[in-house]
A and B are shown apart, each in its own frame.
Chain A
């Protein structure tokens, strides 16, 4: 077993019936810099707060250094937190803010034999001189030697940030938790602080658990990134892997720019998308399995038109100067590609495109059809997410059925009132020629929808499905859970349950992978900085 300082086991946190964190399992190794990354509301802060002890998990365990600390109150945990908005005590000056934790701490102070002949461990508080020495040391570390007797409100954002870090570090925690600590700083300051935090991490050798929504920050600083969405861990891997081999379209879309296209895996090492066949390095897919292809903009090679190497011919739509590169938008066989190149291409010209096999990243599709287990509501009507949808069927009311709807047969309406049911847009990912949206109904079923329009995340929309597009199939009644009427199987949940069931070793496998890669990588980082 790896040397894990923190293990999260099937952690779930539910607020008012909604899961903020769902079944999260994660191992954090001693000395690691782990980043929890995801858009706002993905559950990353909740996870951090559960580690700190401010939130009690609804279910699951937190193991710290081999001991279960799930029920331990925060003041007894050997972790310290740097808060998002610092939370420096306004009634204390810098020195006393930092000394706050030290003044409360007791340290072993020899032993004594009591009257019964038992040896008793004695404790004492830090002396004033010891406290002063420790505070001065961390103040020096964060470059604020002369600020000890300033009030905290007179400090700039960056200085407050440093005090907050010093206040946490002075207690010599085994794990430092950082909740978007750089969020309130300006870009320049943020870059400086990133480097400083990385240096501190290397010098102190303690574990950092860092929460951010900034993917660049995560890629720069971390040994291991945990990408979360909707309370679910999407991928756990080191930065290179997260970038080069995202686990799914969400991760790919969230981490860096990329072109995501739908394609078909023809056979091993052969994939078809944008009406062309490409060689790739992936295998083990089913024959003709629909897949998602991810192409990073820097991996797209632009060749002169008619070059023999070119696989696709594309037309240049735009070319925008971005400082150190041009961002070139191209259209090939009605699919949009984004490329980064050091030379510009004239708008309207035709060019050839080539992608080397190793730069094509191929992923299983999360879902190929919307599938709901439900029952017939009446004559030619079926229950879907609490509403009756017209359909074409000769089955009787109450018959349990499985309903299937293709992605492009779900129609989204701008006005919630126009739809049979209402839903909220959860995500929208451009797939070259169309958008794939995920819309969540009020009873938490996620519809995958292919549309021509980009729907704004968070918007309320209506959902309609043409009666003839609802495919109905009789289903065994034993599958229906008794308490759910109408029964709806949330596919995202079943997927997680599956991954939890067959993948108890999934996070472990990932860590094993990172453990092999990280030492080499950190060494590399160290030496490059020495130069």
Chain B
């Protein structure tokens, strides 16, 4: 008996393909393309051209006025883009969630995401030039909103359409007119969606490159563009520092959004995260 089970046990151990095995490939991918680059950036940040340990790169970045202006610019564009996206996206998502055909109509808002953003941005630029619009901050913001609006509408729509209709009826029943129903039930119940929307727009906008460069004819330089040029110029150290700063911003904003979302949202009005 015992020997028989032992014989059986051996090959089973060898051929064990569990669900875990399928994750190995992904772990390998993550290590190669996420962890390793991060480590490289971290190491690069503390190396000078000659490969010696230094903190000179930090000094260069934080004392250089131009790079701080670029950082400010990026944050400004990020905040304004997010605000505009929310202002446009919320009414649209609300309207769509009330419509029976909303699910299909949402597709129309998502569809442009299927086309590469560079192509769309170049096309937008061509249109602006054809219309004789001066390229500048306005056009950059337009391009940003145009690119990131779907990222705002999608989580908002998911969250708004998952609000049970009976909450709205209950509010009406308790004496709330239409605007009160919205302010006291729909809005608080969609906080989760608002937070995911903001995260999904704000974080990519502060790190975008190309859009700003193309739509301002290179006049407006954002953080993403700046990192790109730094690496192009072979300034790996400063480039790495800037990448770390960016990463810090992403993590901080992500953390904040999660905090606000959790406090206001008691497991309803599902968010996308």
Q: Which residues of A contact B (CB under 8 A)?
A: 52-54, 73-76, 79-81, 83-85, 87-91, 100-101, 104-105, 151, 153, 167-168, 171
Q: Is the CB of A74 within 8 A of B266?
A: no
Contact of B267 with A90 in the complex, beta carbons under 8 Å = yes
A75/B266 contact (C-beta < 8 A), A89-B167, A104-B180 known: no
| Contact between chains at B173 and A81 (CB < 8 Å) | yes
| Chain A, residue nearest B173 (CB) | A81
- 10 closest Cβ contacts across the A-B interface? A101-B174, A87-B166, A87-B170, A74-B172, A91-B188, A90-B268, A104-B175, A90-B266, A81-B173, A75-B172
* A163 → B minimal CB distance (Å): 12
Is A83 touching B169 in the complex (CB atoms < 8 A)? yes
Residue pair B266, A104 in contact (C-beta under 8 Å): no
A52 to B170, CA, bound (A): 10
CB distance from A79 to the nearest CB of B (A): 8
Q: How far is the CA of A336 from the CA of B176 in the complex (A)?
A: 57
Q: A90-B268, A151-B266 are in contact. List 16 more A-B contacts (CB 8 A).
A: A75-B174, A75-B175, A75-B177, A83-B166, A85-B166, A87-B164, A87-B166, A87-B167, A89-B167, A89-B170, A89-B171, A100-B174, A104-B174, A153-B266, A168-B173, A171-B174
In-complex Cβ contact of A52 among B173, B175, B268 (8 A): B173
Residues on the A chain within 8 Å of B164, using CB: 87
- Contacting A at CB under 8 A, from B240-273, are 264-268
Report the bound CA distance from A74 to B267 in whole Å: 28
Contacts of A100 in B (CB 8 A): 171, 174, 176, 184
Residues of B participating in the A interface, judged by any CB pair closer than 8 Å: 164, 166-167, 169-177, 180, 184-185, 188-189, 191, 264-268
Scoring B167, B172, B175, B265 by chain A CB atoms within 10 A of each residue's CB, the highest score goes to: B175
A75 touches B176 (CB 8 A): yes
User: Closest CB of chain B to A81's CB: distance in Å?
Assistant: 5
> A206 to nearest B CB, angstroms?
15
Residues of chain B within 8 A (CB-CB) of A101 are 174-175
List the A residue with the shortest CB-CB distance to B166.
A87
CA distance A51 to B175 in the complex (A): 15
**A103 — nearest CB in chain B belongs to which residue?**
B184
Name the distance in Å between A469's Cβ and chain B's nearest Cβ.
46
In the bound complex, how far is the Cα of B177 from the Cα of A153, in angstroms?
26
Contact of B167 with A74 in the complex, beta carbons under 8 Å:
no
**Which residues of B have CB within 8 Å of A83?**
166, 169-170
Complex: chain A residue closest to B171, CB-CB? A100
Bound complex: CA A168 to CA B171 (Å): 11
State the CA gap A81–B172 with chains docked (Å).
10
- Which residues of chain A are near B185, meaning CB under 8 Å? 89, 91
Q: Are the C-beta atoms of B169 and A87 separated by less than 8 Å?
A: yes
Task: Assess the A91–B174 pair: CB atoms within 8 A.
Answer: no
Beyond A74-B169, A83-B170, is A91–B268 a contact (Cβ under 8 Å)?
yes
Say whether A167 contacts B167, CB under 8 Å: no
Chain A CB count within 10 A is highest, among B176, B191, B266, B268, for B266
User: Once bound together, how far apart are the Cα atoms of A91 and B180, in whole Å?
Assistant: 15
Query: Closest CB of chain A to B40's CB: distance in Å?
Result: 45
User: With A and B bound together, what is the CA distance between A52 and B169 in angstroms?
Assistant: 9
Q: Which residue of B lies closest to A83 (CB)?
A: B166
Q: Would A73 and B180 count as touching, CB distance under 8 A?
A: no
* CB neighbours of B173 from chain A (8 A): 52, 74-75, 79-81, 168
Distance of A79 Cα from B176 Cα, bound (Å): 13
CB distance from B135 to the nearest CB of A (A): 44
CA distance A166 to B251 in the complex (A): 44
Can you list 15 residue pairs at the A/B interface with Cβ under 8 Å?
A54-B172, A73-B177, A74-B172, A81-B173, A83-B166, A83-B169, A83-B170, A87-B166, A87-B170, A90-B189, A91-B191, A91-B264, A104-B176, A167-B174, A168-B173
Least CB distance from B265 to A in Å reads: 7
**A79, B172: Cα distance in complex, Å:** 11
A91–B169 CB distance below 8 A: no
CB pair A54–B175 under 8 Å, yes or no, is no
Residues from chain B with a CB closer than 8 A to the CB of A168 are: 173
Partner of A91, one of B170, B175, B176, B189: B189
Q: A52-B173, A104-B180 are in contact. Are A91 and B266 (CB under 8 A)?
A: yes
Residue of B nearest to A104 (CB): B175
Q: Which chain A positions have C-beta within 8 A of B189? A: 89-91
Chain A contacts of B191 at CB under 8 A? 91
Chain A positions within 8 Å of B188 at CB level: 91
Nearest CB to that of B167 among chain A residues?
A87
What's the Cα separation between A83 and B191 when bound, in Å? 24
Please give the distance in Å from B176's CB to the nearest CB on chain A: 6
Closest residue of chain B to A171 (Cβ to Cβ) is B174
CB-nearest residue of chain B to A93: B266
